[in-house]
Structure 1
Amino acid sequence: MKVTEHIQNANGKPLFSFEILPPLKGQNIQSIFDAIDPLMEFKPPFIDVTYHREEYEYKELPSGLLEKKVVKKRPGTVGICSAIQNKYQVDAIPHILCGGFTKEDTENFLIDLDFLGIQNVVALRGDAVKNETYFKPEKEGNHYATELVTQISNLNTGIYLDDELQNSSATNFCIGVAGYPEKHMEAPSLDSDIYFLKQKIKSGASYIITQMFFDNKKFFDFVAKCRKEGITVPIIPGLKPIGTKKQLNLVPHRFKVDIPDELIMSVVRAETPEAVKQIGIEWCINQSKELIKEGISVLHYYSMGKAENIKAIAKEVF
């Protein structure tokens, strides 16, 4: 079932969803099931599975030349999605990136998903890998999320890269895209970011899922700006509980989001790791309850492969 259909069928009852990371290369899928099992009591209608593009590093040879070595840390997105749908009978939603894919790669990836009965995807440009200063698209790939959405939408109408195909079958993907309540880190302003978000919707996206935020006012203001610009699709808030003191520095740096001073100082003053976790859980519970009170239909949690904090939140909210 499509995400938009899940929302329509909920009849106003808030839905619980979450995102998982594929396991590190060399681990088996049981680590994924161990992260999902504790959360199934809250009946998630769908689970997102991230995609991690290949990263590479250079090694200097005795000759002085540099050898490029590909390091793929978290493969398996498609297989995990298929396993989730088969084991739990819930919809799995793979992330699809521009980076690391040619348009032909993307088309073949989507064909595989279609054959597996996966009806939802999240289309993302993707970030620069650690050895890049700025994002670099593949030479024959999509450069922007809008282009990726267009390619998926074309497949939904039976338009493939090979225009000589006869009697080509149309896919039926529901397309999600990312939104940034505090703007994308590379966007010059929030207004310009929303302008390009609207282009993604015009190109065929059916819903928006947001970057994490810790101040609900920023989410509400973002939604109001989107609605003012004529964006009418569902906007799903993305939430993450702070779990360690280290995250006070890592999260703003990595995701370019602000953490409210009240939350920061509560974490700073906490005397034990367990106290830090509880502060993060309680903050996220309060966020969640306020969002539901304001009529938000789906809450989406970034679990980062850890179920304990998310389960504690869900018990108090759903």
Structure 2
Amino acid sequence: MHITEKLDKYHETSNKTTFSFEYFVPKTTQGVQNLYDRMDRMFEASLPQFVDITWNAGGGRLSQMSTELVATSQSVLGLETCMHLTCTNMPVQQIDDALESAYNSGCQNILALRGDPPHDSQQWTPIEGGFHYAKDLVTYIKKKYGNHFQIGVAGYPEGHPEETVFENNLKYLKEKVDAGASFIITQMFYDADNFIQWCKDVRAFGIDVPIIPGIMPITTYDTFLRRASWGAINIPREFTAQLDPIKDDDELVREVGTQLVVQMCQKLIDSGYINHLHLYTMNLEKAPLMILERLGLLPTEGEVINQNSSNFPWRKSLNPNRKNEEVRPIFWKRRPYSYVARTSQWAVDEFPNGRFGDSSSPAFGGLDLCGSQLIRQSNKKSLELWATPKTLNDIALLVNNYLTGKLVCLPWCDTPLNHEVDTMLQHLLNLNNKLIFTINSQPQINGIRSNDKIHGWGPKDGYVYQKQYLEFLLPKSKLPGLESTLANNEMMTYFAVDVDGNLNSNHPDGSRANAVTWGIFPGREVVQPTIVEKVSFLAWKEEFYRIIEEWKLTLKDNEANKSVNLLDTLLHDYVLVNIVDNDFISKDDKIYELLNSL
């Protein structure tokens, strides 16, 4: 959705000031992974109207990381995303590539900027074949994409450093708006009175698009001065009077600085010129949330639950190509990034009637679509998280630490665990201690209201159901006992596969999907959003075993030889198994009872 449409829609029913967050693109793959987690966590806690991703000029991998971050934010995290685009070092072909990537990801908002001079230059000069000014970029985007993208531009309440004539700043801003810009996001500032006067001048100059102030939190004294100096920003006397005496106490600087910024923001809100704040997070979490909390802008618990409630047990992608998607295989429950990558090439009609369709379709992508690295941690971070396990008991401890919240991820689980697991937690811990390693699970549910805080999803006034499901690594020596017990069991169905692809199952028709979650809602058909299905399980098996191989690569030094041998044991002496207990009415943990008896 376009930013101004989204803000207008919200403010039709609420006078509450809205807000958004800006993030910059980290320099490392691990930094990007950590930022995804932070963006997701900050959204869950605060519900910003949109997020904004800066542009990494320079071409090659740097620019590609910007477009990847935008695509992941929009398509995987389901966040309304605005992409920066600059003229600095940007030939037209590279601008076209960036716009095409944004378009394909479902992004509908661009912040068009001239950009700062390159780091190795004191003066901004256009690249050959590129654009001179932001207005040229705005014109180009409008000509090529019409109204698909809503375009924002930068405003300078204290004037642009390269333009000393005040009226010229207003003239250039109006030229950008006349070229097609629909909103203005301003550079940082701390002088509220000057900003309010600038808003009056902007309106008097005939510019009537929404003005969104850029708010920079104060975290440390040195960064406060450095950022103000870099942008030639005036620092009000009140700020220096309060911050100078405490400049060596970082914690106190953040506390006092936050209060000063809060007072500034409240003055802006009271002026009547703005109803939205844009926070430059600098990829930090606490300082922006402190500002919002003290302004009373954070949502209530009820608002968080209502907003984060989904029509499905996952956050809906905002990529329009996925608008018909209503079903996902449960195997990717904790791997949403790789699942979306696998299905990113599916056309709109590849989700026929909202069903998952045939996962053997050529549109169901291979591992190459998921990137060269399936473990979404750097080698260094992997060692910090998971150390060098040398025994099967060490693996059990890692999994149990994840189950109890001491670890936020595992090689095969990207996302933290929630409280859904609580009712079966002790049984899962016991299985791991028995060296049956649990990978993914869900408890049985027989009719819980759809607004339940833990298990709820879908429209209000409905009921949701789940079959108990468990996926795990089982020692091959125990597989015959499992097969014998389940051979004629119609209520418990399983798939088991080893690294070589040898498959065992008792499914009466293994090619058909088995719904493991569903919902009943007023005025709707039964919704079945999560399934177990043979072909997609085999695709997941391929991914899972490659994750183990990649984990081995992080343990290459001589001291980790025992760890490499241990992972070879997981590869060759274990099988990947999933079991569904189709008796969702029963309150017994029959899967645990079965495995405990092997």
Q: Please, which runs of 5 or more residues in structure 1 have no aligned partner?
A: 56-69, 158-170
Partner of 1:6: 6
Select which of 289, 295, 306 maps to 1:311: 289
CA distance in 2, matches of 1:123, 1:301: 18
Asked if 1:52 corresponds to 2:56, the answer is yes
Asked if 1:21 corresponds to 2:20, the answer is no
Select which of 261, 268, 285 maps to 2:244: 268
2:77 counterpart letter in structure 1 = Y
Partner of 1:290: 267
- How far apart are 1:294 and its partner, in Å? 2.6
Partner of 2:542: none
Asked if 1:224 corresponds to 2:200, the answer is yes
- How far apart are 1:133 and its partner, in Å? 1.5
CA distance in 1, matches of 2:225, 2:6: 36
1:214 counterpart letter in structure 2 = Y
Partner of 2:506: none
CA distance in 2, matches of 1:147, 1:110: 15
1:244 counterpart letter in structure 2 = T
- How far apart are 1:219 and its partner, in Å? 1.2
- How far apart are 1:314 and its partner, in Å? 1.1
Partner of 2:560: none
Give every structure 1 segment of 4 or more consecutive aligned residues whose post-TM-superposition deviation is greater than 6 Å: none
CA distance in 2, matches of 1:277, 1:130: 29
- How far apart are 1:252 and its partner, in Å? 2.6
Q: Please, which runs of 5 or more residues in structure 2 have no aligned partner?
A: 298-598
Superposed, 1:22-171 pairs within 5 Å as 22-40=25-43, 41-54=45-58, 76-157=65-146
1:313 counterpart letter in structure 2 = I
Partner of 1:280: 257
Judge which range, 195-204 or 45-54, deviates more.
Answer: 45-54
1:280 counterpart letter in structure 2 = G
CA distance in 2, matches of 1:248, 1:7: 30
Tell me if structure 1 keeps the 8 A contact 2:188–2:216. Answer: yes
CA distance in 2, matches of 1:38, 1:148: 33
CA distance in 2, matches of 1:144, 1:305: 28
Q: Deviations over 1:123-142 (max 9, x none)?
A: 00001122111012111001
Change in CA separation of 1:8 and 1:26 when aligned onto 2, cut-off 3 Å: closer
DSSP 3-state at the match of 1:110? helix
DSSP 3-state at the match of 1:263? helix
Select which of 156, 159, 167 maps to 1:180: 156
DSSP 3-state at the match of 2:219? coil
2:6 counterpart letter in structure 1 = H
Select which of 226, 236, 248 maps to 2:212: 236
Tell me if structure 1 keeps the 8 A contact 2:71–2:101. Answer: no
Tell me if structure 2 keeps the 8 A contact 1:23–1:74. Answer: no
Partner of 2:520: none
Judge which range, 180-189 or 5-14, deviates more.
Answer: 5-14
Tell me if structure 2 keeps the 8 A contact 1:18–1:47. Answer: yes
2:133 counterpart letter in structure 1 = Y
Tell me if structure 2 keeps the 8 A contact 1:22–1:75. Answer: no
CA distance in 2, matches of 1:84, 1:248: 29
TM-score w.r.t. the length of structure 2 is 0.47
Partner of 2:183: 207
CA distance in 2, matches of 1:210, 1:75: 26
Change in CA separation of 1:75 and 1:113 when aligned onto 2, cut-off 3 Å: closer
CA distance in 2, matches of 1:249, 1:298: 25
Change in CA separation of 1:222 and 1:126 when aligned onto 2, cut-off 3 Å: same
Tell me if structure 2 keeps the 8 A contact 1:45–1:91. Answer: yes
- How far apart are 1:74 and its partner, in Å? 7.5
DSSP 3-state at the match of 2:69? helix
1:111 counterpart letter in structure 2 = E
Change in CA separation of 1:73 and 1:277 when aligned onto 2, cut-off 3 Å: farther
DSSP 3-state at the match of 1:199? helix
Judge which range, 245-254 or 206-215, deviates more.
Answer: 245-254
- How far apart are 1:265 and its partner, in Å? 2.4
CA distance in 2, matches of 1:109, 1:73: 12
Residues paired across the two proteins, number: 290
CA distance in 2, matches of 1:13, 1:219: 21
1:22 counterpart letter in structure 2 = V
Percent identity, aligned pairs only, is: 31
- How far apart are 1:156 and its partner, in Å? 2.8
TM-score w.r.t. the length of structure 1 is 0.86
Judge which range, 19-28 or 259-268, deviates more.
Answer: 19-28
CA distance in 2, matches of 1:114, 1:84: 13
1:44 counterpart letter in structure 2 = P
CA distance in 2, matches of 1:249, 1:219: 19
CA distance in 1, matches of 2:224, 2:103: 40
Q: Deviations over 1:261-317 (max 9, x none)?
A: 211121110151110111111111112222222332110001111111011111122
1:19 counterpart letter in structure 2 = E
- How far apart are 1:186 and its partner, in Å? 0.6
- Which of the two has higher C-alpha Rg? 2
CA distance in 2, matches of 1:266, 1:200: 38
DSSP 3-state at the match of 1:246? helix
Partner of 1:196: 172
1:291 counterpart letter in structure 2 = L
CA distance in 2, matches of 1:191, 1:315: 37
CA distance in 2, matches of 1:264, 1:38: 33
Higher relative contact order (CA 8 A, sep 6+): 1
2:96 counterpart letter in structure 1 = E
Change in CA separation of 1:289 and 1:88 when aligned onto 2, cut-off 3 Å: farther
- How far apart are 1:260 and its partner, in Å? 1.0
DSSP 3-state at the match of 1:178? strand
Tell me if structure 1 keeps the 8 A contact 2:2–2:109. Answer: yes
Tell me if structure 1 keeps the 8 A contact 2:196–2:271. Answer: no
- How far apart are 1:77 and its partner, in Å? 1.2
Q: Deviations over 1:91-143 (max 9, x none)?
A: 11110000111122212221221121110000000011221110121110011
DSSP 3-state at the match of 1:29? helix
